[in-house]
Amino acid sequence: MPKMLMLTLALRNVFRNSRRTLLTVGLIACGLAALMFTDAMVRGMSQSMVRIATGTLLGQAQIHRAGFRRNNDVDLYITHSDHLLQLLHDDPAVAVAAPRVITGAMLASSENVAAAMVYGVDGAAEAQLGKLQQAMVAGDYLHAGNGSAEGQRQLLVGTGLARLLEVELGDRVVITVSQIQGGDLSQELFRVSGMFHFNDRMLDQNLAFITLPRGQRLLGMDTGVHEIALRLPAPPAFDWQRYNGDWRGQVLQTLSWEKLIPQLSGVLEMSNVSTLIVAGILFMLVALGLINSMFMSIYERQYEFGVLLALGTRPVQLFWQILYEGFFIGVLSALSGLVLGGLLTWWKAATGIDYGNLEMSGVTLQEPIFPMLHWAQFTWMPLSIVLMTLVASLYPAWHAARLQPTRAMRKTL
């Protein structure tokens, strides 16, 4: 019965100074809304950055010959790649497997010379894996060519590289590379058949694409590839060990995007830490605000507490009364914050926030960031707020419970 009495008293006391309660609830609710929105932004940004990073060219995983990635040694190519590609095509966990040969090259036009990475790719697979086809801004995308001279000379250059070489569509470009096994120089003539624009300065200035067979021929290899980029519909379902280790006399290495671009996964991990730090700071500010408000309320009612104690209220009952007040404020704040934060996040999740091609950790945010609603924002965050208000109420409650009736009632009796 006294518990119900203390609950009733607490509830009514919460609304006793409605302006102060409203301000306190508003402060905590804004804190919760900010926390929810920050979390949603970090989630949305992480997802966008991963999608942009993996969806442009990288893929969600790549298979290489062990050691290739250390310095792009052209000699470290995957042999029997046709057989490996067949295995990958048959693997239900793999949606797309795009084979590539990759080499550093010198590109020379009639006007200029530039160094770039040349990718020999399977146009059809590449179109399914990344955004190369969508990034085309001029000319034609790579096609099989049916062995025609024109087909074999296809060359896609980034808009930045085209500017450096001062070339237009149809202009001739000579590509010079070091061949495998011996490093003999090999030169071939190409014509600029298309231009792409990934909206990423590094990619647009440093990449050129030719067809896979022509790339293999340029490097002096038969059917080998340096890299197989993979699109995985459900990465956890992929058997990461299956394409790792010894395979037909060579050592393969399968790496996830997190390992391929560790700087991005590092940034994402840091974002999570940042969210926790922001949450910690918000919680501390909110807790201090609440403690301040509770103490104001307690000091105002000190005499009344003295009366309650004089009437026979046990200190522990007074303690619970203050805790209940904190609890009610917490619940009100959590509900208000949920509505405020939920609406704000939901609105921005629908409209997005455009960062205008901001570059972060080597990833250009080419699309608006859409904050992501997540169950955690509607469960543990408001629960944490309620818990925090309870914890913040402990000290004021303890203070009230320790009051001496005669000191609390400074007047007579």
Footprint on this chain of other proteins (rule: CB under 8 A): 1-2, 4-5, 9, 12-13, 16, 303-304, 307-317, 405-406, 411-413
Reduce the DSSP state of residue 84 to 3 states and report it: helix
CB 394 → other proteins: shortest distance, Å? 19
**Per-residue tokens: 243:** 């394409």
**Tokens for 74?**
């052209």
Q: How large is the angle between the packed helices 380-401 and 315-351, nearest 10 degrees?
A: 160
Nearer to other proteins, 70 or 411 (CB): 411
For other proteins, the closer of residues 147 and 312 by Cβ is 312
Q: With respect to other proteins, which residue has the nearer C-beta, 51 or 314?
A: 314
Residue that has been written with the tokens 């459900």 in this structure: 234
Contacts 24+ apart (CB under 8 A), 307-311: 307/405, 307/409, 309/403, 309/405, 309/408, 310/405, 310/409, 310/413
Give least dist CB 266 to other proteins, A: 55
Q: How far apart are CB 344 and other proteins at their closest, in Å?
A: 35
List the one residue out of 251, 331, 243 whose CA is nearest residue 290.
331
**Which residues 6+ apart lie within 8 Å of 282 measured at CB?**
31, 34, 35
CB of 315 to other proteins, least distance (A): 6
Nearest approach in angstroms of CB 12 to other proteins is: 4
Q: In angstroms, what is the minimal distance from the CB of 287 to other proteins?
A: 26
Q: Are 120 and 211 in contact (CB under 8 A)?
A: yes
Decide whether 143 or 314 has the Cβ nearer to other proteins: 314
CB-wise, 7 or 87, nearer to other proteins?
Answer: 7
* 35/242 Cα distance (integer angstroms): 41
Q: How far is the CB of 396 from other proteins (least distance, A)?
A: 18
Question: Residue 77's Cα: distance from chain center in Å?
Answer: 32
Report the C-alpha gap between 393 and 363 in whole angstroms.
Answer: 45
Output the smallest distance, CB 333 to other proteins, in A. 21
Query: Closest separation between CB of residue 258 and other proteins, Å?
Result: 57
Residues forming beta bridges with residue 117, ordered by sequence position? 104, 207
Check residue 72 and report its DSSP letter.
Answer: T
Q: Provide, rounded to whole angstroms, the least separation between the CB of residue 29 and other proteins.
A: 24
Output the six-digit token pair for 328.
Answer: 């009610």
How far apart (Å, rounded) are the C-alpha atoms in residues 170 and 12?
81
Residue closer to other proteins, measured from CB, 6 or 116: 6
How far is the CA of 402 from the CAs of 293, 297, 327, in angstroms? Answer: 19, 16, 20
Helices (H), 91-189: 123-129, 149-152, 159-165
> Nearer to other proteins by C-beta: 9 or 282?
9
| Nearer of residues 181 and 404 to other proteins, judged by Cβ | 404
Whole-angstrom CA distances from 211 to 39, 143, 256, 260 are 43, 8, 25, 24
State the DSSP code for 130.
S
> Measured from the CB atom, is 249 or 312 closer to other proteins?
312
Nearer to other proteins, 259 or 402 (CB): 402
